[in-house]
Structure 1
Amino acid sequence: MVAFGKKLRESQIQEWQGYYLDYKLMKKKLNQYTQQIEVGTQNHPHVLKDFSRLLDSEIEKIVMFMLEQQGVLASRLSSLGEQYESLIRQDADGERISQLQEAYRSVGRDLLRILSFVEMNAIGLRKILKKFDKRFGYKFTDYYVKTRANHPYSQLRQVCKHVGIGAVVGAISRNLADLQGFQQQYENYISIYDQPAFSHPDPVVNSLRAAVNRLSNSTSFLHYLGKHALLMEEDLPILSGDQADDSKYHFMSLILNLANTFLYMVNTYIIVPTADNYSMTLGAAATVCGVVIGSMAVAQIFSSVYFSAWSNRSYMRPLIFSSIILLVGNTLYALAYDLNSISVLLIGRLFCGLGSARAVNRRYISDCVPLKLRMQASAGFVSAGALGMACGPALACLFQRNFKIYKLTFNEDTLPGWVMALAWLIYLLWLSISFKEPSRAPEVPRESNSGKYVNISVENGSTQPFLTNSKAKEKLEDRDTDGEDAEEDAVQIQKPVNSIVSAYRLLSPSVKVQLYIYFMLKYAMEIVLAESSVITGYYFVWSTSSVAAFLACLGLTVLPVNVVIGSYISNMFEERQVLLVSEILVCIGILLSFHVLIPYSMAQYVGSALLTFVAAEVLEGVNLSLLSRVMSSRLSRGTYNGGLLSTEAGTLARVIADGTITISGALGESKLLNTTLVPALFICVTSIVATCFTYNSLY
């Protein structure tokens, strides 16, 4: 294992060594503080004050040097600008243009050195803060960030947010683009401000943009959407040997994987507009629709675990099993009408939940899609789910038929089951013919620095070193000690967790809060969706078609909202800011939904439901993005991974929400709305409070 302090020294630019964060000195300081506190020669307040002063001094050293280097680059760019102005006033030959382009590239390469300098120091700073908190049990990071980051003279922001570097990148990008246009034909000049996506961006510019994005967490719609699958680009191994992924990659298998995601989401929401009517037809109360809808989620809590474990050994077999179970479940759901049995109806939906293979879908993308396509595949995974969510209720609009074939009834209640059973049968045949099971290599042990062998393969059998991704490296480096526990940590960090208890122990307070927020938003969304048919039927006498159209419109907002957030909002504001504002908007949406004193209007219901749902969508995006960033790298693979934890949190929220609807129905439909909104409001308010307590840890 390479300790972070050693890695920092090895990565340093030699002539700048004296300007880096003195990580070794600060580690020694922590050891000294520990010893002094133990013998009683030092107290906690003095330790906080002394370490804060040391950090301030180190950060000032870094920032002053960084500004000095930026000044040198600015001076060089100013000189090159004069040469450029001179060049465009005369007929310059291609050689002079090429020389000027190379001069700009040289500045770009030097700027990359500065960006690397900033990145190494930012990582070192975060690690030493985390080490201090772990060593002394304080929330020192929260205190330090809160007092330094928002100060008008903040130097911490210079390190963590690289203020001013964007202007230098912009100058290099613009002038290289202008020179390229000038070289082609000056009269066809196009500025980067007129056309940001220049036809052939310079490789140096591409490198600069990638480095800046890595530092600032700025994003694009594709990357933003891909984060929803908890498959962050920086989490993925960047290896010269990524050809192993290419050998396992099969395009049609990926399409089948995404089709499974789409069909399952259609299956989940296709019954929502008719579940209340179906329940009453079978002799139950309309609010039993909560149990009918939620029974699928109940089974999914268990299916997510065994499908996640099964995907360690195979992808095709669990997908086949999933399709068969869903085929049976939908058939039972449809037959319940002619059998006049609410029990058969619920068993059918339980079977559908037992067929949830989303863990397999996510795992296939993680393990079998090449790195260069993985973010697109992750975005496809999220998009397929969003489209399925919209298509489910929309299809219900088309089922306004009533006929019999032999003794089987086909109407708006049973057609969702029959259509989905047919869809899963077709999918099963397509899967059997076209899916290609990827090969699995045997585990290969590697000898550690100490001479002992360490298993570096991931749980699914891939022979890629588990520590090749940047987050795993950071975790490994964060456990850097000069003592005897270094080797133990090296082995431990490479092992995926093997139980839900072990996974829970890895959850920091900020991760727990993010999972709670995910629970909250799924609860709020499920309340809006699942009780919509009952509420609109009671207050506005909406038909099944009207409810289905309303739910389809809600579902169709998912992708446009994510386009806006991923392309614009997330680049203008910090994710933690968007997170908190979104939570407040969800809270406002819930408050506006209450029926108090004045008659309940359609405008109030539609407006509040839309605000709650859209705000929850925005919240889901930034929540999962932050979750993937703060979660332990050991939860990126294996059965009990971060994706499973988030899925379980969301599924549990749906179960409780649907159960709340059914229980509240005992009080009567007139009280259903307010009764179900009270716990939603409580959960939302507590999530806002929890976010405020962990806000600075998300910096």
Structure 2
Amino acid sequence: MKKKVKQYVQQIEVSAQNRQYVLKDFSRILDKQIEKIVLFLLEQQGQLSSRLSSLREQHDAFIQQADDSKLSELKEAYRDVGRDLLRLLFFVEMNAIGLRKILKKFDKRFGYKFTNYYVKTRANHPYSQLRQVFKHVGISAVVGTISRNIADLQDHQGSHVSIYDGLAMPLPDPIIESICAAVDRLTNSTNFLEYLGKHALIMQEELPTVLEDHVVDERYHFMSLTLNLASTFLYMVNTYIIVPTADNYSLNLGAAATVCGAVIGSMAVAQVFSSVYFSAWSNKSYMRPLLFSSIVLLVGNTLYALAYDLNSIYVLLIGRLLCGLGSARAVNRRYISDCVPLRMRMKASAGFVSASALGMASGPALAYLLQTEFKIFKITFNEDTLPGWFMSLAWFIYLLWLWFSFREPPHEENENIVTRPANSGMIETSALENGLSQSLLLSTTENQPGEDEDHECDIGEENSEEEIHKPVTSIVSAYRLLTPSVKVQLFVYFMLKYAMEVVLAESSVITSFYFVWSTSNVAIFLAFLGLTVLPVNIFVGSYISNMFEERQVLLASEVMVCLGILLSFQVIIPYSVPQYVCSALITFVSAEVLEGVNLSLLSRVMSSRLSRGTYNGGLLSTEAGTLARVIADATITLTGYWGMSRLLNATLLPSLFICICSIIATCFTYNSLY
């Protein structure tokens, strides 16, 4: 198909071939390829079903004879069917990935929205063969037959409990687990752990390969991973612990209350730059950037706390800038990607996201607890300065723990690192691994007429394939790899982070002006918002994402964010606590749901070259989110000079505009999110 695309380019250059002909001809060829895949899939399913029917006849006879040796042979025969089914699923998965790639290549070479047209006309048709590749019917029935019969053979000695009672197989057969994992990948089914892990956007390889993980095992160290997660947690605490008191601190230093936007946002401003150099630094070391981060954060928080007695808003801002310069989230994410074995990477990714969520909730909660005032040697400790002193102590303890417990993994050059598969739960049977390179049908081993010609690939294409495995070396190169779908998803991520930052950063100012809330009330409210993160992800990851397509959830979540913003506006009627709380909750929760599906889709539509190196997909998403926070905090500070009564609506208008733009952009690229 890649060769055909190249021929189209040559034809257009030589004979000015008409666009309509190219679209029609390529659609026809692609339809034939998909039909070939689907018919082959059905043929193989028929053969597997016939084998299962034959085994069923033996099954009943062996159960009556109660011959353990024959029952063991029969169980292994069922497993052989399962292995062949798993090979078939790998075949379908590689074709599904190939289909996505050829659609991307066609769009890139011709500048057409062919993917949008093709998916719209094929996927939604009642006789869709394209849907069979991604949402195949019949596999579940085969899996159910194998599972039920293996369970029956395990319990043949008098127990007649079936798999439908949920008690027959406390330890599912490894073959069944591998098949279910493969089906889940194809249909994008997910559970809470996988869904939560996707929030980390630790880019992975697409193709399901079975590679040894011993190289990564040598680099993995549990305490080092724990220290990385602790760094993630402490940094999020550091970010949000000052939110309930930032406006009051600004007032005490002689600035306007809305300068809290600059105080909160200055950390994000510095993080825009720190993410890049920390990501580059992690190419050579993990421990040194973490040590540097801890020292900078310790100094930054100390300056933040001393600003009160020095009576200087500039010292306060410098302290927060230093805190932003100490953001090592790029290192934390990179360590999981490079040093955690495949079988544990999803759990580590989920731990990264959980640590962030808990830190976000713990920050305001700690601010609520630090409501006291005293002096030691003319140094003031109160609700404004205690968050700084507390975080300084926390980073000092962390620094000591890091120095004595972190183990620097052996480093390799990025170009030489063996790429690793994205999915755990792969079957480890060598026979199956070897079988992936063999023909599934004996009849397909012989070349068909013209097959040799189609199989040929010119040197230019081979070289371009090799380039896929090389990480990008500059931000410009990374930007060139961004397709319209990726750009829209990054814009959606920008939008949701902007909306969340507006809700959180201006909460203390808005609630103080309209409802005369105390610092304690604001802290409790923000902690409550933070605590919704994990329950929302459990619900979405376990249920919603399996009931609807991710692109459907994405669009619905954007609409809900828009609704939450609209409900937040102050109109003619007096602004009330129920209106503010409900609108903030809708906006925040919807943005959380949106973040999960957005990052999941982003990881699927983003180039595999962005899975490694300094300028990776995680860095791009972090930069988009950080930039959104910077602009949101700047908006709060600037609009505050118009008067407190106008602050709410003035900050919500940009949020509403950006949200509407993201919905429109999503609609334009909706069919390419497949």
- Structural mapping, 1:130-279, within 5 Å: 130-183=104-157, 185-186=158-159, 189-192=161-164, 194-195=166-167, 198-232=169-203, 234=205, 240-279=211-250
Partner in structure 2 of residue 464 of structure 1:
417
| Amino acid in structure 2 at the alignment position of 1:304 | S
Query: Is residue 202–residue 617 contact of structure 2 (8 Å, CA) maintained in 1?
Result: no
Q: Which residue, out of 85, 99, 117, partners 1:125?
A: 99
How far has the Cα of 1:157 moved from its partner?
Answer: 0.3
CA distance in 2, matches of 1:637, 1:678: 38
Partner in structure 2 of residue 366 of structure 1:
337
Deviations 1:468-488 (A, max 9, x none): 779xxxxxxxxx983342454
How far has the Cα of 1:110 moved from its partner?
Answer: 3.1
Partner in structure 2 of residue 115 of structure 1:
89
Partner in structure 1 of residue 378 of structure 2:
407
CA distance in 2, matches of 1:117, 1:664: 57
Query: Is residue 691 from structure 1 mapped to residue 655 from structure 2 by the alignment?
Result: no
CA distance in 1, matches of 2:397, 2:664: 48
How far has the Cα of 1:631 moved from its partner?
Answer: 1.3
Deviations 1:326-365 (A, max 9, x none): 1111111111111111111111111111110111111111
| Amino acid in structure 1 at the alignment position of 2:230 | A
Relative contact order higher in (CA < 8 Å, ≥ 6 apart): 2
CA change 1:488–1:78 in 2 (3 A) is closer
CA change 1:612–1:151 in 2 (3 A) is same
CA distance in 2, matches of 1:606, 1:590: 12
Query: Is residue 568 from structure 1 mapped to residue 543 from structure 2 by the alignment?
Result: yes
- SS of 1:397 mapped into structure 2: helix
Query: Is residue 568–residue 579 contact of structure 2 (8 Å, CA) maintained in 1?
Result: yes
Q: Where does the alignment leave 5 or more consecutive residues of structure 1 unmatched?
A: 1-25, 442-456, 471-479
CA distance in 2, matches of 1:28, 1:386: 47
After TM superposition, the structure 1 stretch with the greater mean CA deviation from structure 2, 102-111 or 158-167, is: 102-111
Query: Is residue 483 from structure 1 mapped to residue 465 from structure 2 by the alignment?
Result: no
Query: Is residue 582 from structure 1 mapped to residue 557 from structure 2 by the alignment?
Result: yes
CA change 1:400–1:139 in 2 (3 A) is same
How far has the Cα of 1:83 moved from its partner?
Answer: 5.6
How far has the Cα of 1:79 moved from its partner?
Answer: 5.2
CA change 1:655–1:159 in 2 (3 A) is same
Deviations 1:264-307 (A, max 9, x none): 00000000001111111111111111011001101111111111
- SS of 1:200 mapped into structure 2: coil
Partner in structure 2 of residue 501 of structure 1:
476
Q: Which residue, out of 104, 110, 118, partners 2:78?
A: 104
| Amino acid in structure 2 at the alignment position of 1:458 | N
Query: Is residue 204–residue 422 contact of structure 2 (8 Å, CA) maintained in 1?
Result: no
Q: Which residue, out of 63, 68, 85, partners 1:94?
A: 68
CA change 1:553–1:313 in 2 (3 A) is same
| Amino acid in structure 1 at the alignment position of 2:546 | N
Deviations 1:168-224 (A, max 9, x none): 2222223322332334x415x25245359x322222212211221232222222222
CA change 1:238–1:159 in 2 (3 A) is closer
How far has the Cα of 1:522 moved from its partner?
Answer: 0.4
Partner in structure 2 of residue 559 of structure 1:
534
Partner in structure 1 of residue 428 of structure 2:
none
Deviations 1:654-681 (A, max 9, x none): 0000011111111111111111010001
CA change 1:686–1:60 in 2 (3 A) is same
CA distance in 1, matches of 2:669, 2:467: 27
How far has the Cα of 1:142 moved from its partner?
Answer: 1.3
Partner in structure 1 of residue 347 of structure 2:
376
Q: Where does the alignment leave 5 or more consecutive residues of structure 2 unmatched?
A: 424-454
| Amino acid in structure 1 at the alignment position of 2:310 | L
Query: Is residue 315 from structure 1 mapped to residue 315 from structure 2 by the alignment?
Result: no
Query: Is residue 308–residue 360 contact of structure 1 (8 Å, CA) maintained in 2?
Result: yes
| Amino acid in structure 1 at the alignment position of 2:530 | G
Partner in structure 2 of residue 594 of structure 1:
569
Query: Is residue 226–residue 232 contact of structure 1 (8 Å, CA) maintained in 2?
Result: no
Query: Is residue 232–residue 375 contact of structure 1 (8 Å, CA) maintained in 2?
Result: no
Q: TM-score, normalised by structure 2?
A: 0.90
Query: Is residue 278–residue 413 contact of structure 1 (8 Å, CA) maintained in 2?
Result: yes
CA distance in 2, matches of 1:92, 1:469: 43
CA change 1:244–1:56 in 2 (3 A) is closer
Query: Is residue 225–residue 621 contact of structure 1 (8 Å, CA) maintained in 2?
Result: yes
Q: TM-score, normalised by structure 1?
A: 0.87
Query: Is residue 71 from structure 1 mapped to residue 42 from structure 2 by the alignment?
Result: no
Deviations 1:34-71 (A, max 9, x none): 34433437422122222222322332333233223323
Partner in structure 2 of residue 474 of structure 1:
none
- Structural mapping, 1:488-567, within 5 Å: 488-490=463-465, 492-567=467-542
Partner in structure 2 of residue 426 of structure 1:
397
Partner in structure 2 of residue 20 of structure 1:
none
Partner in structure 1 of residue 33 of structure 2:
58
CA distance in 1, matches of 2:365, 2:123: 48
Query: Is residue 666 from structure 1 mapped to residue 641 from structure 2 by the alignment?
Result: yes
CA distance in 2, matches of 1:374, 1:31: 38
CA distance in 2, matches of 1:120, 1:236: 7
How far has the Cα of 1:614 moved from its partner?
Answer: 0.6
User: Structure 1 vs Structure 2: percent identity of aligned residues?
Assistant: 75
Query: Is residue 233–residue 375 contact of structure 1 (8 Å, CA) maintained in 2?
Result: no
CA distance in 1, matches of 2:3, 2:409: 49
Query: Is residue 33 from structure 1 mapped to residue 2 from structure 2 by the alignment?
Result: no
Q: Which residue, out of 294, 301, 306, partners 1:335?
A: 306
CA change 1:123–1:648 in 2 (3 A) is closer
- SS of 2:155 mapped into structure 1: helix
Partner in structure 2 of residue 477 of structure 1:
none
Instruction: State how many pairs are aligned.
Output: 643
| Amino acid in structure 2 at the alignment position of 1:201 | P
CA distance in 2, matches of 1:395, 1:326: 18
Partner in structure 1 of residue 594 of structure 2:
619
